Chains A and B, each alone.
Chain A
Amino acid sequence: MSTARIVADNVHVEFPIYGARNRSFKNAVLRAATGGLIAEDAARHVVVKALNGVSFELHEGDRVGVIGHNGSGKSTLLRVLAGAYEPVAGTMLVEGQVASMLNITLGLDYEATGYENIFLRAVIMGYRPKDIEPLVDEIVAFSELGDYIDMPMRTYSSGMSMRLAFAVSTYVSAEILLMDEWLSVGDAEFSEKARARLNELVGKAKILVLASHDESLIRSNCNKIMRLSHGQLTSFEAV
């Protein structure tokens, strides 16, 4: 396997906030037709700078905790790392297979059975059905759903849905693991098992990026801490 690394070079991410005004086609046409008189007004949309010139390098063995207040850019950073957002300026180089645990229920269909959802979730995570096929029995066993696996997911309790989502999402191998808060699911017994499973996944990953508010959680799981404030990297140091 190739080496995994992440190089962020002066990454900027800005979200344009379009009110009803700016999203309207009429205004865009007027803007073009009036030669800029209304243009100034219509084009003056608010921009939220989520990441403002962030640069860093991550290498194998890095366990990075990202700390910051709400709106400091943690989640945006993770989404850029996941390859969903492209920086408006600067470059983000990500080498290695990324597994994103940002939203483990993304793509689940509550009308579909648990079994169908295993495949749905796997495909959305970027795997092929044939990759997940040999793992299905293990995933079902891990989720402890038993015969419920053939029932529509809407019949599940929220705990059961989470167990299934967790089981599929963590039955992957990842070189780069992205997490927004530490995943915890289920009752006492299951959460113990889940913790072990997650630790194993984190242990196998070459790079971990974990965003959290909880500094003690980060201190116990990470070897580097990145502090974000207002979209800027204020410090990046070893623990």
Chain B
Amino acid sequence: MNQASAIKLSKALHDLAEGATSVHVWPMLAWQEIRQRYRRSVLGPFWLTISTAALLGGMGPLYGKLFGQDLGSYFPYLSIGYVLWLLISGLVNEGCAAFTVAAGLIQQTPMPLSVHVLRVVFRNLIVFAHNLIILVILLFIFPPHMSWDLLLAPLGVLMIALNGAWLGLLVGLLCARFRDIPLIIQSVMQVAFFLTPVMWHANSLGRFKWAADLNPLTHFLATVRDPLLGLPVPWHSWAVVLGVTVVGSAMALASFVRYRARIAYWV
């Protein structure tokens, strides 16, 4: 490694370390954005909870009927999957704008760039926490089979958040440079919602179940949803999640090291 790339690497790592430890910055900015969105409403961010609940209340019975499912098992399945999907798609879609929306700060302050990505991740976790209320209520109504596997669910959420971080770094950078990428990603995510087993069971594909297994999002959902439904998580789901995390982080790090200094010029 020559000296120039060693400097680039150390600056990038320094940015990430400083960003991660700036716990007085990104949570504050994330909360500010949430508050800003709901500032003058009476219920504030609980509108998120209500709108998700309303949607599930409508979709659950309808799709349960359409797919000929037993509501007692389909309703929790759909709700958990949908709430997780909101988290995942929020991380992906807002990750695109991580740097572009912070153009003012990036062009005028020496704030670590990773702060802007962590702010997106944290904001989406706040939103997720509001939707979590629905799941908690639901799990009281439809109690899952108690097992130690339940403890794996928070780990699965953590993995989703971790993946949101590298993804935000990578797509945030790409979207700052190429302005049609956010639009591409948005359409991909819309299609992905229907291609991912959120509303339907992978098992109902029968011998084509492998098609759902090819979709990494299937496995991210499984690591949280299966434990909450009292099902064991297939080991290969954990393997896929871990693999995506490692490969994705490596890709994001490589791009960030190379292009970090350019971001200020791109936004």
- For A118, the chain B residues whose CB sits under 8 A away are none
Q: Is B39 an interface residue (CB 8 A)?
A: yes
Q: Which residues 1-53 in B have Cβ within 8 Å of A in the complex? A: 24-25, 28-29, 32, 35-36, 39-40
Which of B174-182, B211-219, B232-240, B241-249 forms part of the interface with chain A?
Answer: B174-182
Asked if A85 contacts B111 (CB within 8 A), the reply is: no
A31 to chain B, nearest CB (A): 12
Task: Tell me whether B109 is interfacial, beta carbon within 8 Å.
Answer: yes
Contact status A84-B265, CB under 8 Å? no
A48 smallest CB distance to B (angstroms): 10
B111 touches A124 (CB 8 A): yes
Q: Enumerate chain A residues within 8 angstroms of B181, measured Cβ to Cβ.
A: 25
In the bound assembly, the distance between CA atoms of A26 and B266 in angstroms comes to 18
Minimum distance in angstroms from B239 CB to a CB of chain A: 31
Chain B residues with Cβ under 8 A from A106's Cβ?
104-105, 108-109
Cβ-defined contact, B107 with A84, below 8 A: yes
The answer to whether B36 touches A112, judged by C-beta atoms less than 8 angstroms apart, is yes
Contact with A along B179-215 (1 / 0, CB 8 A): 1110010000000000000000000000000000000
B35 cross-chain contacts in A, Cβ below 8 A: 111-112
Verify if A144 is at the interface (C-beta below 8 Å from B).
no
Digit string of A114-151 for contact with B (CB within 8 Å is 1, else 0)? 00100110011110110000000000000000000000
Convert A73-90 into 0s and 1s, putting 1 for each residue whose CB lies closer than 8 angstroms to a CB of B.
000000100111110000
Task: Report B-chain residues with C-beta under 8 Å of the C-beta of A129.
Answer: 24, 28
Q: Which residues of B contact A23 (CB under 8 A)?
A: 177-180
What residues on A are CB-neighbors of B109 within 8 Å? 82-84, 100, 106, 124-126
B110 close to A (CB within 8 Å) = yes
- CB-based contact B178/A84 at 8 Å: no
- Please tell me if B106 contacts chain A, counting CB pairs below 8 Å: yes
Tell me the bound Cα distance from A86 to B28 in angstroms: 26
B261 within 8 A of A: yes
- Kindly identify which residue among B106, B178, B265, B266 contacts A24, using a CB–CB cutoff of 8 Å: B178
Q: State whether B178 touches A103 (Cβ < 8 A).
A: no
Type the 1/0 row for A52-67, where 1 means its CB is closer than 8 Å to any CB of B: 0000000000000000
Q: Which residues of A contact B107 (CB under 8 A)?
A: 79, 84-85
A138 CB to closest chain B CB (Å) equals 21
Inter-subunit contact B177/A84 (CB<8 Å): no
Of B24, B36, B106, B180, which contacts A84 at CB under 8 A? B106
B231 interface contact, C-beta 8 A: no
A-B contacts besides A24-B179, A112-B35, 11 pairs, CB < 8 Å:
A16-B266, A18-B266, A23-B179, A25-B180, A25-B184, A83-B110, A98-B110, A106-B109, A107-B105, A111-B40, A126-B111
**The 9 nearest A-B residue pairs measured at CB:** A83-B110, A86-B261, A25-B178, A111-B39, A23-B179, A85-B264, A128-B24, A111-B36, A25-B180
6 contacts between A and B (CB under 8 A): A23-B179, A24-B178, A109-B32, A112-B35, A123-B28, A125-B109
* A contacts, CB < 8 Å to B: 14-16, 18, 20, 23-26, 28, 79, 82-86, 98, 100, 102-103, 106-107, 109, 111-112, 116, 119-120, 123-126, 128-129, 152
Residue ranges of B at the interface with A (Cβ–Cβ < 8 Å): 24-25, 28-29, 32, 35-36, 39-40, 104-111, 177-181, 184, 261, 264-266
